[in-house]
Amino acid sequence: MQASPTEADEFLRKGIAAQQSGDLKNAIEDYRKALAIRPELAEVRANLGAALAAAGQFDAAIEEDTRALAVAPDKTAVRMNLALAYYKKGDFKRARPEFAAVHAAKPLDLSAAMLLGYTDIKLEKGSEAVDLLLPLERGRESNMDLEYVLATAMIQSGKEAEGLPRMEKVARATRAADAYVIAGSTRLHRREFHEARADLDAAVELDPSIPGLYTMVGQARDALGDTDAALPAFQAALRSDPRDFTANLYLGTMRLKQRDFDSARPLLELALELEPKMPQARLQMAKLNAMTGKNAEAAATLEDLEKADPNWLDPHIELAPIYYKLHRPEDGQRERDIVQQIEAKQQKAGPPKQ
């Protein structure tokens, strides 16, 4: 016996009720039963797409939303669902034109604009996101969702001086650890260490489990000369991730300065294993070798570093006394002369630009 259109309507009603109650499995089944009777119903197909996306079945959701749009191309809500399905799937290139179409149809819809902005950020198009969102900010400065996405776009596009105050405003207003992390890491990159420390310490108080956070906290504290506070931060970083290159390097360097060679060596060796070409790790290992009597090994490493970057002062400083220990006084004197030449050039040039 052939099903009647009334039965399709009943399956639609049941599907909506199930979806509203969070029963996605039955909602999907009911919508599919309705479509088996009346496949032309765009509303049912759109609801099915939304239910599939909510269940994490993004490819199936995209298929249903696309078919629904083929029947009703002016359905902005369906296009938004399609864009969200692409976005949640991680297919930002396909999500963008759909969000752009929604924004064009509803230019005053702030949520559509912000989603388009987020997508641009994912596509490394922060400048486009700024151009889109900045005109919408006036009168909405207290909207922390808008401020967050705008600040992120500004920081990504190099407008850090404008983005950082906004991100820190969001962090204070919402007590959001991730906002403090973004601000703190950007401050750290800009060598604004006092501000970086304040932001990153605030993030630790809110959510110490954020990956890499303790490493940045340690870097900010170390840059300010607060070794006593930096040490436990790097130790916490290694408890979270024993193979954290930066934490191993910094902690190994600290142990080396304390002349705790037995503790420094495994940390620096692991750092080199993780990043064998990293100049700073190679420099610290050379210093350790020199301090523990392995002068030939130290000299070989420092000579390689000099060849790679003749104007880097540190390898020349370290190499001069090693040459004397190796009974190569002419080479030692040459290195001392090079050190004086580089220092004179640096003094003439003045401090590096921040």
pLDDT of res. 3: 54
User: Structure tokens of 95?
Assistant: 């999500």
Helix crossing, 76-89 with 58-71: angle to 10°? Answer: 160
Q: Is the confidence at residue 1, as pLDDT, over 60?
A: no
Helix crossing, 213-223 with 193-206: angle to 10°? Answer: 150
Residue 91 DSSP label: -
Residue 175 DSSP label: T
pLDDT category at 34 given cuts 50, 70, 90 is confident
Taking the model in full, what pTM does it have? 0.85
pLDDT per residue over 126-141, tens digit each? 999 999 999 999 999 9
Contact (Cβ atoms closer than 8 angstroms) between residue 131 and residue 142 = no
Burial 18-38 (b: 16+ CB within 10 A, else e): bbeeebbeebbbbbbbbbebb
Contact (Cβ atoms closer than 8 angstroms) between residue 87 and residue 95 = yes
Helix (H, G, I), strand (E, B) or coil at 323: helix
pLDDT category at 341 given cuts 50, 70, 90 is very high
In order of 195, 213, 255, the CA distances from 180 in angstroms are 11, 10, 30
- What the chain holds in terms of domains, given with CATH numbers, is 1-106 (1.25.40.10)
Q: How many CB atoms lie within 10 A of CB 230?
A: 22
pLDDT per residue over 160-169, tens digit each? 999 999 999 9
Taking residues 290-319, report their average pLDDT: 96
Q: Is the confidence at residue 353, as pLDDT, over 60?
A: no
Give the gyration radius of the chain's Cα atoms.
Answer: 29
Task: Work out the burial of residue 321: count CB atoms within 10 Å of its CB; fewer than 13 is exposed, 13-18 middle, 19 or more buried.
Answer: middle
Taking residues 324-329, report their average pLDDT: 95
In order of 13, 23, 42, the CA distances from 2 in angstroms are 20, 28, 21
Q: Is the confidence at residue 258, as pLDDT, over 60?
A: yes
pLDDT per residue over 62-80, tens digit each? 998 998 888 877 789 999 9
Taking residues 205-210, report their average pLDDT: 97
pLDDT category at 10 given cuts 50, 70, 90 is confident
Upper half-sphere CA count for residue 159 (Cβ side, 13 Å): 19
pLDDT of res. 68: 87
Taking residues 181-197, report their average pLDDT: 98
Taking residues 262-274, report their average pLDDT: 98
pLDDT, averaged across the chain: 93
The more confident residue out of 64 and 222 is: 222
pLDDT per residue over 138-148, tens digit each? 999 999 999 99
Taking the C-alpha atoms of residue 260 and residue 176, their distance in angstroms, rounded to an integer, is 39
Q: Which range is least confidently modeled, 37-41, 151-155, 213-217, 240-244?
A: 37-41
Taking residues 302-312, report their average pLDDT: 96
Taking residues 261-289, report their average pLDDT: 97
Helices (H), 190-312: 193-206, 213-223, 227-240, 245-257, 261-274, 279-291, 295-308
For the ranges 44-48, 68-72, 200-204, the maximum mean pLDDT occurs at: 200-204
Taking the C-alpha atoms of residue 252 and residue 284, their distance in angstroms, rounded to an integer, is 8
pLDDT of res. 5: 64
Contact (Cβ atoms closer than 8 angstroms) between residue 270 and residue 248 = yes
pLDDT of res. 42: 81
